[in-house]
Amino acid sequence: MVLRSGDKWIFHNAAARVILKAMNLTSRTKLRRLPKRGSHDPAPIHAILDDGFLAHVGFSLNGQPFVIPTLYGRNENKLYLHGSAASRMLRELEGGIPACVTVTLVDGIVLARSAFHHSMNYRSVVAFGTARKIEDPAHKTKALQVISEHLIRGRWAEVRGPSDLELKATSVLEFSVEEASAKIRTGPPADDEEDYVLPVWAGVLPIFTVTGPPVPDTQMSNGHNVPEYILKYRER
């Protein structure tokens, strides 16, 4: 557990201390622009990662940058990525090349009185590290469970688990976060003092991610109610 006391974070277990130690901060994660919005503390970084499920993974191959969207799951300071065994991204990452994983959650469009001060309310994480391929079938299955439960908790216990053939056709990587930073913006626009008298509407247009009513598969037999974990997911 991590608690905040003033400007200090207090770690109540060894795992949290290990996570902090693992994030040896370098120039890669130094917050240069608007550093007051940022943090290197594990608690807000993990909170943002837990609220998201879509990451963009950046890496360079022969001088050509690539940024690939992918689902993920988190366990302490490790992120699990998966995909087809033929995936170029996974094949390259498993070699241990440096990679960057970003997660961004947009909470609102900030409309100012001037074009210059328009902005967004957001929460984001930039994480650097390297990945390794998980070979052990039991560990691989556990990592897939972490991803599944991160996306929709409760689903893994109900569905059929992966077969040996499906495991062989799937690559799973464990991305160790070596260092990371979070950045957050909240609140109204920050206009220049002389612009507050302008006759222009200003404020925040909130953005929410919502789910619609569950749509059953047409090939599903009758008598199956929508699972409780799906209903709870819609309510969160």
In this predicted model, what pLDDT tens digit does every residue of 17-40 receive, in sequence order? 444 444 556 655 555 555 566 688
State residue 142's pLDDT score.
97
Confidence check: pLDDT of 79 > 90: yes
pLDDT 10s digits, 121-161:
999 999 999 999 999 999 999 999 999 999 999 999 999 99
Mean pLDDT taken over the chain: 86
Contact present, 42 and 20 (Cβ < 8 Å): yes
Mean of the pLDDT values across residues 198-225? 91
Strand partners, 59: 66
Backbone angles phi, psi at 198, to 5 degrees: -65, 140
Backbone angles phi, psi at 134, to 5 degrees: -90, 120
Contact present, 153 and 229 (Cβ < 8 Å): yes
State residue 205's pLDDT score.
98
What proportion of the chain, given as a percentage, has pLDDT over 70?
83
Confidence check: pLDDT of 1 > 70: no
- Tell me the whole-structure pTM to 2 decimals: 0.82
Closest to 70 (Cα-Cα) out of 161, 163, 171, 178? 171
**CB contact burial 33-67 (16+ within 10 A = b; e otherwise):** eeeeebbbbbbbbbbbbeebbebebbbeeeeeeee
